[in-house]
């Protein structure tokens, strides 16, 4: 049974209900996740609340040093974390290392919190009066994580939150909670005090409890649109800050002058890597002009990819997370075919020797897709690449901009003029120019937009620090002893002289 972490102790839940964590390549039970009781959840929030006063008053340099130590420990245990991710989530070991590393970069960024959290100062705003602003922590914050990045997403959340001086309650995905537990152990080994980071497991009931709890000030969420909008509206209605990263339909526009080799490699890696289970996966390609020659070459490369258990050394893509996910992906592929699209490559009936019970789908390429098809409107979240065709860059951009999602969009071209037009007119929050997955490093922020994000302040970078802090503005005046000018009824800062 996977334990909860409450007030510095790993404790088994007293709940009688649990969910099996399955290895998606074998269906073997890896562990069991408890459906945490409301009392246990309250205990976690209470532990975070009690730890807050001492933690917020801990010098920022001390908090930074704990992050320095944490990044060292994550590097030390990188292989162990990656193996756990591959076992529970299914992605290849190489990809699992990437999962940890992208999170590690956020920890490294948090090591500079003193500078990131600096306020502003203006002396003598009025005669003898100074004003300054400081960024203070909010209190207890919470994070709700998805299954697709079991290490990276928790590391997007708690390192920034706690280094700002907040305390934290984390709810990992019930499908792969192991990495969160390992990271929490490392955080405590690094010197994070008891109660600063707490972990509770569960499903909807815990999510709703997080949204409703009066002691939780802010909620970070990454996951589907249905859950994300529910959390955003429910938690906002209770006066909480919310940042909610949700679904996506990321497009690439390929112009005829694009570098053939580099573009094909990018499309294959971004479309099928991690079995398509990335919120920045490249799921739709819009070819400007003739698409047939591109599709033929794509087919050739996609066929060469090795689909097997993520633990196999030559694996290119592993299984999808669950049987239900596989069924859903297969249904969406079928709906495209029934709507008149053409299957260039069908990966639905793949059999992987030695892993016959795994949730495998091979690379799938669907051509002749139109904007009214279910497979285009829905996020597929599998190794499926949809191919569309447009006669001009303007027409291609219209297709992309009409889509409700706005996480990412890329263009492949050797024309600076076309690239500049694209970056100016495209309505996605993260733009790639000859880059298929334009996820910014942590000194920028993850800036999905439109239906892919709800909230005002994005994850990590400057926006992340702003999300986990509130501004206090102080106006001060120190008068000399001889000030016999009598009573002034004016606002102190609005004196004319």
Q: Which residues of 376-389 are buried (b: 16+ CB within 10 A; e: fewer)?
A: beebbbbbbbbbbb
Q: Any idea of the CA torsion for 322, 328, 333, 336, to the nearest 10 degrees?
A: -170
- Of 491, 492, 490, the residue nearest 476 (C-alpha): 492
How far apart are alpha carbons 24 and 357 in whole angstroms? 8
Residue with tokens 């139109």: 370
User: Cβ(469)–Cβ(135) under 8 Å?
Assistant: yes
- Of 210, 179, 180, the residue nearest 197 (C-alpha): 180
Structure tokens at 293: 């020659």
How far apart are alpha carbons 97 and 149 in whole angstroms? 11
Residues in the chain: 497
Q: Determine how β-strand 129-137 pairs with β-strand 140-144.
A: unpaired
Catalytic option among 111, 141, 211, 279: 279
Strand order in the sheet with 241-245: 9-11, 4-6, 197-199, 167-171, 140-144, 216-222, 241-245, 453-454
Handedness of CA 219, 405, 367, 389 (dihedral sign): negative
Q: Which residues of 175-192 are buried (b: 16+ CB within 10 A; e: fewer)?
A: bbbbbbbbbbebbbebeb
Residue 345: DSSP 8-state: E
How far apart are alpha carbons 449 and 403 in whole angstroms? 12
User: Cβ(362)–Cβ(380) under 8 Å?
Assistant: no
Which SS3 state, helix, strand or coil, does residue 10 take?
A: strand
How far apart are alpha carbons 173 and 151 in whole angstroms? 11
Other residues' Cβ atoms within 10 Å of the Cβ of residue 123? 9
User: Cβ(390)–Cβ(396) under 8 Å?
Assistant: yes
* Residue 279 annotated as catalytic: yes
Residue with tokens 């100074």: 130
Helices 152-163 and 178-189: angle between axes, nearest 10 degrees: 30
DSSP state letters, 258-275: S-HHHHHHHHHHHHHGGG
How far apart are alpha carbons 333 and 380 in whole angstroms? 9
| Active-site annotation, residues | 279
């Amino acid at each position: 049974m996977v334990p909860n972490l409450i007030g510095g102790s790993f404790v088994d839940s007293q709940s009688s209900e649990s969910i099996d964590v399955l290895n998606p390549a074998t269906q073997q039970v890896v562990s069991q996740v408890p459906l945490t009781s409301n009392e246990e959840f309250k205990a976690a929030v209470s532990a975070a609340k009690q730890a807050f006063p001492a933690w917020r008053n801990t010098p920022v340099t001390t908090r930074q040093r704990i992050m320095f130590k944490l990044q060292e420990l994550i590097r030390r245990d990188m292989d162990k974390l990656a193996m756990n991710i591959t076992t529970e989530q299914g992605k290849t070991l190489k990809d699992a290392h990437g999962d940890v590393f992208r999170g590690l970069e956020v920890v490294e960024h948090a090591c500079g919190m003193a500078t990131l959290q600096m306020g502003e100062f203006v002396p003598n705003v009025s005669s003898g009066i100074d004003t300054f602003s400081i960024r203070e922590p909010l209190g207890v914050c919470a994070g709700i994580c998805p299954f697709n990045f079991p290490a990276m997403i928790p590391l997007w959340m708690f390192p920034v939150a706690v280094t700002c001086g907040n305390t934290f309650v984390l709810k990992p995905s019930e499908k792969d909670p192991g990495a969160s537990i390992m990271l929490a152990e490392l955080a405590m080994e690094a010197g994070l005090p008891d109660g600063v980071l707490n972990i509770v497991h569960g499903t909807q009931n815990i999510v709703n409890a997080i949204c409703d709890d009066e002691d939780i000030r802010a909620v970070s969420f990454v996951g589907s649109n249905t859950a994300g909008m529910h959390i955003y509206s429910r938690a906002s209605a209770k006066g909480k800050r919310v940042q909610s990263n949700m679904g996506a339909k990321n497009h690439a526009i390929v112009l005829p002058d694009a570098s053939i080799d580099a573009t094909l490699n990018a499309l294959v890696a971004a479309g099928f890597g991690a079995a398509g289970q990335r919120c920045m996966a490249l799921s739709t390609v819009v070819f400007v002009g003739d698409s047939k020659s591109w599709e033929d070459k794509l087919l050739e490369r996609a066929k060469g990819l090795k689909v097997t258990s993520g633990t196999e050394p030559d694996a290119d893509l592993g299984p999808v997370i669950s049987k239900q996910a596989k069924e859903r992906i297969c249904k969406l592929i079928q709906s495209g075919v029934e709507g008149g699209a053409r299957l260039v490559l069908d990966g639905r009936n793949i059999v992987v020797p030695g892993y016959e019970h795994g949730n495998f789908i091979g690379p799938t390429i669907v051509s002749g897709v139109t904007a009214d098809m279910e497979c285009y409107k829905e996020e597929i979240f599998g190794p499926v690449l949809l191919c569309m065709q447009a006669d001009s860059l303007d027409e291609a951009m219209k297709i992309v901009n009409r889509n409700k999602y706005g996480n990412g969009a890329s263009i492949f071209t050797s024309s600076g003029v076309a690239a500049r037009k694209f970056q100016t007119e495209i309505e996605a929050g993260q733009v790639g120019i000859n880059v298929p997955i334009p996820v910014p490093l942590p000194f920028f922020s993850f800036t999905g937009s439109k239906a892919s994000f709800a909230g005002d302040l994005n994850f990590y970078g400057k926006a992340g620090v702003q999300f986990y802090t509130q501004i206090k503005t102080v106006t001060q005046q120190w008068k000399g002893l001889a000030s016999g000018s009598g009573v002034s009824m004016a606002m102190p800062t609005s004196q004319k002289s």
